[in-house]
Amino acid sequence: MAKSHLCAGAAALALLAVPVVGQANDDLAEMMKDPKQWVTQLGNYAGQRYSGLDQITKENVGELRPAWSFSTGVLRGHEGGPLVIGDIMYVSTPFPNIVYALDLNDNGKVIWRYQPEQDPNVIPVMCCDTVTRGVAYANDTIFLAQADTTVVALNAQTGEVKWSIKNGDPSKGETLTMSPLVVKDKLIVGISGGEYGVRGHMTAYNLSDGSQAWRAYSTGPDNEMLVDPQQTTHLGEPIGADSSLQSWEGDEWQIGGGTTWGWVTYDPELDLIYYGTGNPGTWNPAQRPGDNKWSMTIMARNPDTGMAKWFFQKTPHDEWDYDGVNEHILADLTIDGQETKALVVFDRNGFAYTMNRENGALLKAEKYDPAVNWATHVDMETGRPEVVPEFSTAQNGPDFNTTNICPAALGSKDQQPASFSPVTKVFYVPTNHVCMDYEPFEVSYTAGQPYVGATLSMYPPQGEDHLGNFIAWDAAEAKMLWSKPEPFSVWSGALSTAGDVVFYGTLEGYLKAVDPSNGEELYSYKTPSGIIGNVTSYEHDGKQYIAVLSGVGGWAGIGLAAGLTEGTEGLGAVGAYQSLADYTQLGGVLTVFELPD
């Protein structure tokens, strides 16, 4: 980032006389308290995906019925979900990233639509389908992150463009799939493209005009990463000067991945944003000796300046593509008798981490799927997983096919967000139950071309026939409470409610409701296509509704979405999910559910 941005940011902060407690966008933060609306993709800044509405209960959820539906007109994977602001619902689609404003007073009549003009050449550069994870809202504005990295601010009432900026360069493999987050007067936006040798970064843009406030890279020199080597810590110790540069060979960090396509959460009291960085490039670990910092890392930063407070690297020298971008859920928990401001992440690598979000201390780390075998445990002193040599693709070397690694590269959970109920103090987690064979090979870097360097095959764990589980997890005790098997990976975001019901969707297309105490299925309804979207709830005219996007795709459904048939295509996922076509087909549809009058 240019030095002028840092100086301007510091000067502005000095003039604003910022109070001790971080100021969230006041209107947005207040709206998050209203359970009748759904104003951010994860429900609130803490990322809890919890609804305070309680009309739909364990006793009556079985009576749910479709109230109305809306076809998006797009046939690729529909991740993310709708926002509800007052009487308007906002829905976005995969490429070409259409945004619809729907009138809740008229069964979803289109008030306006925005369809950007994008070069379709961006489609083959997108890893794992042409998804987007939804729009953001603040200040009567809808913020859209397009596949071609354009970020657009739209008038929420009319759809007119307020401003537009470019966040990256698709010709270099940079794309954009994440949902941005508004914090105070900034829009926080990441970047995709880890499979193309992209150097990851997180960027803040000023809401007023789209000008860049700061950019923090995941790898490289301290000044470009926005770290103070003596003040930024890892497990309580300063990271030291040029910590990233020292963990890469030569200038590999420049194409080192660490992209930031997952979720961002925020603690207004601590005034810190939290997000994860993805896999290092390439997938062949022999080409990048070292810990490859700071890929695979939880980052805690000041939203005004971007300066880092603490890091925690979950999978040093990643050998399996265990992207570290999953959502970081913030919850206040009693851990070992102490009231703790916790951060909980169900990482792709199969371990559930409970951290102290104030200082990055590691409190708990346990497997949340018993099939996980690539590491025995996490060393609580160093934070490093203890790798099992048999499953080390680095130790086995290039051109050696390491078999039966669990989990597969898509992880024990991918980006599909979990839910936390502040009532039960339990996390409800959609998971994958998939293993893989992994064969690295030498690959050279060319800008805009795939920089993967591995061939994968995926399948269920040995002796089992299901590819997913929906689980309940006690993060304070680091233990599973119950697990509900599913035939396919659960690729839908979960929702817990004050009505004591938990919702999620399945790849075959079922919206399901379960009892949070034991996972007993209370309701299911098959929507027109597989669900990889996130379940939401809102209230309109005094009535609670449940809404979900169906539209099979994403990494698990890439075979259907992109018409792939070879087992190793789709970075190895096609083979594991070939039978999915027997249960569902393509189709983007929003379905809204209600109780009968």
Kindly state the DSSP code that residue 532 receives in the 8-state scheme: -
Q: Residue 23 has what pLDDT?
A: 52
Beta strands in 281-350 (DSSP E): 297-301, 308-313, 329-335, 338-346
- Residues classed as catalytic: 321
Q: Residue 24 has what pLDDT?
A: 58
Distances (CA, A) of 72 to 78, 92, 142, 152, 388: 10, 8, 18, 20, 46
Whole-number Å distance between alpha carbons of 560 and 508: 12
Q: Residue 14 has what pLDDT?
A: 31
Give the distance from CA 253 to its chain's centroid.
23
The CATH code of the domain at 3-594 is 2.140.10.10
Q: Look up the pTM and report it.
A: 0.95
Say which residue the tokens 């990851």 belong to. 200
Contacts of 597 (CB under 8 A, 6+ apart): none
Q: Give me the phi and psi of 254, to 5 degrees please.
A: -70, -20
Q: What is the dihedral of CA 240, 246, 248, 254, to 10 degrees?
A: 70
Strand, coil or helix: what is 139?
A: coil
> How many other CB atoms sit within 10 Å of the CB of residue 188?
25
Whole-number Å distance between alpha carbons of 13 and 270: 16
Strand, coil or helix: what is 378?
A: strand
Strand, coil or helix: what is 253?
A: helix
Contacts of 467 (CB under 8 A, 6+ apart): 432, 433, 434, 460, 486, 487, 488, 489, 576, 577
Whole-number Å distance between alpha carbons of 196 and 179: 21
CB-based contact 85:37 (threshold 8 Å): yes
Q: Residue 531 has what pLDDT?
A: 98
**First CA to last CA distance, the chain:** 57
pLDDT, block means (10 residues), the chain with 597 residues: 34 32 71 97 98 98 98 97 98 98 96 96 93 97 98 98 98 97 97 96 97 98 98 98 97 96 98 98 96 98 98 98 98 97 98 98 98 98 98 95 98 98 98 98 96 97 96 98 98 98 98 98 98 98 98 96 93 95 97 97
